[in-house]
Amino acid sequence: MAFQYTPYTAPVFLSAVVGLGVAGFALQNRDRPGAFPLAVFLVGAGLWSFAEGMNLAHADLAGKVFWTNVEIAITGLVPLSFLWLVLEYTGNEKWMTPWTLGVLLVEPILNGAIVWFRPTYVRTELGVTTVDGFRVITEAFGPWYFVHLIYSYLVILVAGAFLLRVILFAEGLYRAQATALLVAAFVPAVGNVLYTFDYLPAGIDPTNVGFLFTGIIIAATILRRQLLEIVPVAREVARDEVLENLEDQVIVTDENDRIADLNPAAVDLLDCTEDEAIGRPIGELLPEIAEILDAEGSGRTQSELSVENGGGVRYYDVRINPLHRAGGMVAGQLISLRDVTEQRQQRQRLDVLNRLLRHNLRNEMNVIAGNAELVERKLSDTELVDRIEQIEATASEITARSDKVGRVARMLDDAETVEMNLEDIVMAEVEQIRERYPAADITVDIPSKRRVVAGSSVTIAIHELLANAIEHNDGQPAVSVTSRASEQFTVLEISDNGPGIDDHELDVLDEGKETALQHGSGVGLWVVNWVVEQFGGRLVFENDGDGCTVTMKLPRRTGDAEDGPESQSLDDAAPDPSNGLRSERQQTVEGRD
């Protein structure tokens, strides 16, 4: 038995060491998706490289024949394990069923048996020749070799197609991982093609040197691109679960507006099976959607449409988003339909009730008040006069409340936000309150440059808090209005010396709804809450025994520097658990926002 050294021996053995080393790391993380088949793939590649190294190290024909037979027998394991790796990595392991695996294993097992028991089917005319001073094996390939070769290349191509899909449709980390795996597999594959079809000198097989690059690429991807830690399978599974359980109807169309996929909710909408829907033009099943697509083109679209089916007419909020391939080409559309029938009916009912409250009821209460005033002029009985005056006051209160609701509704419908000077807003409302309640002591301390990002309805909220602080105070009302700022919010604090806000009023706000047993005494706090929520702010109540402090946190433009050193995150600090009611109210009310 004679041995020799060639320039290719060291790189081939190094390829075996790198492959087996990375395989060991993968086995340590075998609970991760794709880790175990990756280890099998690299073990196969490492053993293949080791056998090639032993083939190069032997100078005699017998040794070369033995080790090249080992190589050919191992080659059936490598493509199959790579396909297994890719299926797990991409979340398609459902294709690797026991039946599928059994079918795929038939060829590698048969290949191993033929290599050892019918070697002439694989190779003929075996011999040794000298190339560049070292001896290499010469051979002619038999029919089975090409059968095995075609099988192996097909398996690698199928795996490559799954990876190519990730590269085309994923971004960032997943695209980098999939590209690395694709290159890692195709570098040795290209070397094998060059060797098999005699594009290189006899006996020089670069396949195993290619495996050295495979091991290095995979190791680098594990270290730099978090392979085995973050893989597309989690995202694919999550997307499938979301689509399966989503109540919204979701339809995916291709570039020709044919249905490519849909979720179970959409199947119910189309009144046909999933298999019947896929592949058909969406215009056949939902002509209303086709009209929107024709009118709006391939851009992002939002619309509302009505669909008539066996259950009557349903109304849907339709959103259409284009799906882009790599390079920005439109590959189709993602169409989502949200059933808004109940919301639409509720909006109609609210519009009618709002009209009744703002118009009909107001007019009727004016009639009541007018007639009560006429009756009062004819009465001489003091007790009856007092009752008539009570009727007039109640009718006036209902009318005023109707006016308030109407004014609030109009302002809340206007969601436009602008940057506003807080001092100007507050002073305008304070002047109105002073005219209405001249006995109240109101102090204001707000920096002249302090600003908020809100809309016109914020004036109603400020007016409501000022009026509430005075109207519910049985003593001499004293109200203090101050402001401070943080990076995110402008904070407005309105403090009074009254009895505070009843717990049941705050409980209603905490719950977010009113019931027959639990409801507020008016709409004032609801108005304030709606306004603050509309602009993304926060609302905090503090009853401290000496009055009440209501804190409104309204958004401000980030980067404003007019407030100087006091612009601290004081209002964002965690509430003090030892502070009783204040801590509780801060947690519950802020948490709702």
DSSP line for 484-509: EE-SSEEEEEEEESS----HHHHHHH
In the chain, pLDDT over 90 holds for what percent of residues? Answer: 16
- More confident call, 417 vs 569: 417
Whole-angstrom Cα distance, residue 477 to residue 548? 12
Whole-angstrom Cα distance, residue 39 to residue 26? 5
Whole-angstrom Cα distance, residue 212 to residue 426? 74
Whole-angstrom Cα distance, residue 198 to residue 201? 7
Whole-angstrom Cα distance, residue 237 to residue 243? 10
Average pLDDT over residues 305-324: 76
Architecture of domain 9-234: Up-down Bundle (1.20)
Average pLDDT over residues 521-526: 68
- Which residues, at least 6 apart from 372, have a Cβ–Cβ distance to it below 8 Å? 388, 391, 392, 395
Whole-angstrom Cα distance, residue 402 to residue 396? 10
* DSSP SS3 for 309: strand
Whole-angstrom Cα distance, residue 453 to residue 532? 11
Q: For residue 258, what pLDDT band results from cuts at 50, 70 and 90?
A: confident
Spatial CA neighbour of 544 closest among 592, 508, 496, 511: 496
CATH 3.30.565.10 fits 415-592, yes or no: yes
pLDDT of 485 over the 60 cut = yes
Whole-angstrom Cα distance, residue 79 to residue 73? 12
Token pair for 17: 């060491």
Which residue do the tokens 């025994």 mark? 545
Please, what's the b/e burial string for 473-485 (b: 16 or more CB within 10 A of its CB; e: otherwise)?
Answer: beeebbbbbebbb
Going through 326-450 in order, the beta strands assigned E by DSSP cover 330-339, 418-421, 441-445
What's the CA angle centered on 519, arms 517 and 525, to 5 degrees?
170
Instruction: Walk across the sheet containing 489-496 and list its strands.
Output: 441-445, 478-485, 489-496, 548-555, 538-543
Whole-angstrom Cα distance, residue 387 to residue 403? 24
Whole-angstrom Cα distance, residue 102 to residue 113? 16
Angstrom distances, CA of residue 351 to CA of 304, 346, 369, 533 = 19, 9, 26, 21
pLDDT of 577 over the 60 cut = no
Q: Contacts from 195-201 at CB under 8 Å and sequence distance 24+?
A: 196/141, 196/149, 201/131
pTM (predicted TM-score): 0.50
Q: What is the mean pLDDT of the chain?
A: 78
Which CATH number is 246-339 given?
3.30.450.20
Secondary element (H or E) of residue 169: helix 143-169
- More confident call, 248 vs 567: 248
Reported as half-sphere exposure (CB side, CA atoms, 13 A), residue 315 has a value of 10
Q: For residue 299, what pLDDT band results from cuts at 50, 70 and 90?
A: low
The string of pLDDT tens digits covering residues 131-173 is 888 888 888 889 999 999 999 999 999 999 988 888 877 666 7
* DSSP SS3 for 261: strand
Whole-angstrom Cα distance, residue 164 to residue 170? 10
Whole-number pLDDT of residue 26: 82
Whole-number pLDDT of residue 586: 42
Contact between residue 454 and residue 535 where contact means Cβ atoms under 8 Å apart: yes
Domain boundaries, the chain: 9-234, 246-339, 344-411, 415-592
- More confident call, 325 vs 365: 365
Whole-angstrom Cα distance, residue 66 to residue 416? 82
